[in-house]
Amino acid sequence: MRFGERTVLCGLRKAISQAECYIYIEEQFLWDCELADVIAEQLRSKPNLALIIMLAAETELPLQHGSWHFHRRSLFFMTVMGVKTKEEIAFGNKTRVYPYGVFREDGKAVYVHSKLVIIDDRYVSIGSANVAARSMWVDTELTLGIVDDQIIDGNLDARPTKVCKFARDLRLQLWNEHLQQNGLPADPMEVLQGLPGTQDDWPRNVGEAKKRRFGHLQCYVNVPGKDMFLTNGWPNVLDPCERHFTL
């Protein structure tokens, strides 16, 4: 196609722009792209909206490529929070951004490879597309946007409402697995209040985060000034998938 095929990007933009209570993402490559702008705008317009993310705590990319991975992740968070430097990145209730790494019981990191978005127990996006410019603009991907026609009674932020059964059941199944619990409350915002870093300050270092691990989850900690991208001297060139596109 002369101008590409962008239904994955367009579908996610539309769904995110209608989020009211939560956006839940499981992601291998959480890299800065247009979706970060849409999420930032929605967080500003919806004061109760929460962004909950399950991340690969480590990377399979070697050396400087691994550094580039974490650099792009930092850029995503900077865009979402509307800040200019990595030192300004802040997680927890202050920004309503809650990123977690997933770990086994023996403490070894789980390499999250899923590409999943669930919004307000009503919308699911699942497939091969990462939250990254490459997947949105360049690479061949296959992703489903699912709005279930089986509508059921649910709760969002202590308010009775209608939700989609598939989205609600999938979210509960995943959260039960990550938190190693059964019978979680149906209201996702009630569950959020039990996650690490939501009832107190977000951990400031990895050691503190390990002490507050809950189930398989551990708070993702941004360490200002320790980004390997800065210390390894990545060449000063533009990524061919930098955010220079417009719809």
- Residue with tokens 């769904």, as numbered in its chain: 15
- 182-209 pLDDT, tens digit per residue, is 888 989 999 999 898 998 889 988 888 8
Torsion-angle region of 215 (φ positive above 0: left; ψ -120 to 50: alpha; else: beta):
left
Residue 237 in any domain: the answer is no
Of 116-120, 144-148, 209-213, least confident by mean pLDDT is: 209-213
Residue 239 in any domain: the answer is no
- 79-91 pLDDT, tens digit per residue, is 999 999 888 999 9
Domain with 191 in it: what CATH number?
Answer: 3.30.870.10
Beta-bridge partners for 161: 154
Mean pLDDT of 34-58: 94
What pTM, to 2 d.p., does this model score?
0.89
Number of domains present in the structure of the chain = 1
- 129-184 pLDDT, tens digit per residue, is 999 988 988 888 999 999 999 999 999 999 999 999 999 999 999 999 999 988 88
pLDDT of residue 223: 63
Structural domain including 150 reads: 7-232
Residue 238 in any domain: the answer is no
Indicate the SS3 state at residue 171. Answer: helix
Residue 247 in any domain: the answer is no
pLDDT of residue 100: 94
Residue 246 in any domain: the answer is no
Q: In angstroms, rounded to a whole number, what is the distance separating the alpha carbons of residues 112 and 118? A: 16
- Residue with tokens 């309503």, as numbered in its chain: 96
